[in-house]
Structure 1
Amino acid sequence: MIQIKEQDIPPGYYEKLMVVENYLKEIPIEIGLLELIRLRVSQLNKCAYCVDMHHKELRNTGETELRLASLCVWQETPYFNEKERLILQFTEELTILKDHSIGQSLLDNLGRFFTKNEICQLTLAIAQINTWTRLMRAFSFTPGNYQVKNHHQ
């Protein structure tokens, strides 16, 4: 039986992914919004390790338990503002791929809150967490042990 553990990951593997992570740390998008994206993708992709991580990161940014608990049903709640709702819709469309492109109206609505560059950066952030969730699921990383490094405060 093949089981890949963290120590089995080839040298340089994470370092290549961290190039993108370090780029995302420099973009002008609030960390709370990025972490909201990351947690929603983690939920959609059923990655327990990433759900644990990004739930803790969001708590560290000051996110409320009500919004954290309601993220999986964000469409049904009044707890998310229009900007957040649009980015959550965009996040879901890029994570649950369908047989059509992202609608122009969604892009136009995102353009009310974000520049073209920021939409490109958000797209990369969504793609990156989709990569991480797939890796963590493939490698069966155990959730629960992640510790926040108070870098958001």
Structure 2
Amino acid sequence: MRVRMNHREANPGSFKALLALESFSQSRGIEPELAELIRIRASQLNGCAFCLDMHVKDMMKVSGNLERTSLVSVWREAPCYSEAEKAVLELTEAVTRLGEAGVPQAVYDRVREYYDEAEFVDLIMAIIAINSWNRIAVATGMYPGCF
């Protein structure tokens, strides 16, 4: 395997911009486990091996729970996630796969049962951040251990 380019070196300003988005997202108080669940699920959907590898390891550091870490792809059938976490994972899927229909009202309503408007926007920002990282990693050919 070969990385197409080191985007950090090729365009330091773009890397700095992504870091700023990530920093903002991390400053908003989303629980660390929930943040990792978002990152893992989006990375799975986007096929980003680099980010998936990183965030599975980060989740294990945060939670130490192999079941919660390994069952993210089948969260609907896994009893180890709370209803609030399931709502956020559903939102992560809807935003990551954003299509013509947008985010369904039912998904929005489910998330709002657990999170206020400001928290909802915080969740969206976290989803946007990992999707941005996924897209640059996939587009530049990053893979686990490449840096």
- How many Å separate the matches in 2 of 1:20 and 1:80? 27
SS for the counterpart of 2:132 is helix
What pairs up with 1:34-113 in 2 under 5 angstroms?
Answer: 34-113=35-114
- How many Å separate the matches in 1 of 2:52 and 2:62? 15
- How many Å separate the matches in 2 of 1:105 and 1:69? 27
Contact 1:67-1:79 at 8 Å conserved across structures: yes
Q: How far off its partner does 1:143 sit?
A: 0.3
Matched letter for residue 16 of structure 1:
A
- How many Å separate the matches in 2 of 1:16 and 1:33? 23
Contact 1:24-1:121 at 8 Å conserved across structures: yes
Q: Deviations over 1:24-60 (max 9, x none)?
A: 1210211110111001100111100000110011011
Seq. identity, %: 33
Give the length in aligned residue pairs. 145
- How many Å separate the matches in 2 of 1:105 and 1:95? 16
Structure 2: which 5+ residue stretches go unaligned?
none
What pairs up with 1:2-17 in 2 under 5 angstroms?
Answer: 3-6=4-7, 8-17=9-18
SS for the counterpart of 2:12 is coil
Contact 2:18-2:132 at 8 Å conserved across structures: no
Q: Deviations over 1:94-143 (max 9, x none)?
A: 11123212122221221121110110111111011111101001111130
Contact 1:38-1:126 at 8 Å conserved across structures: yes
Q: How far off its partner does 1:74 sit?
A: 1.0
> TM-score under structure 2 normalisation?
0.90
- Higher helix proportion: 2
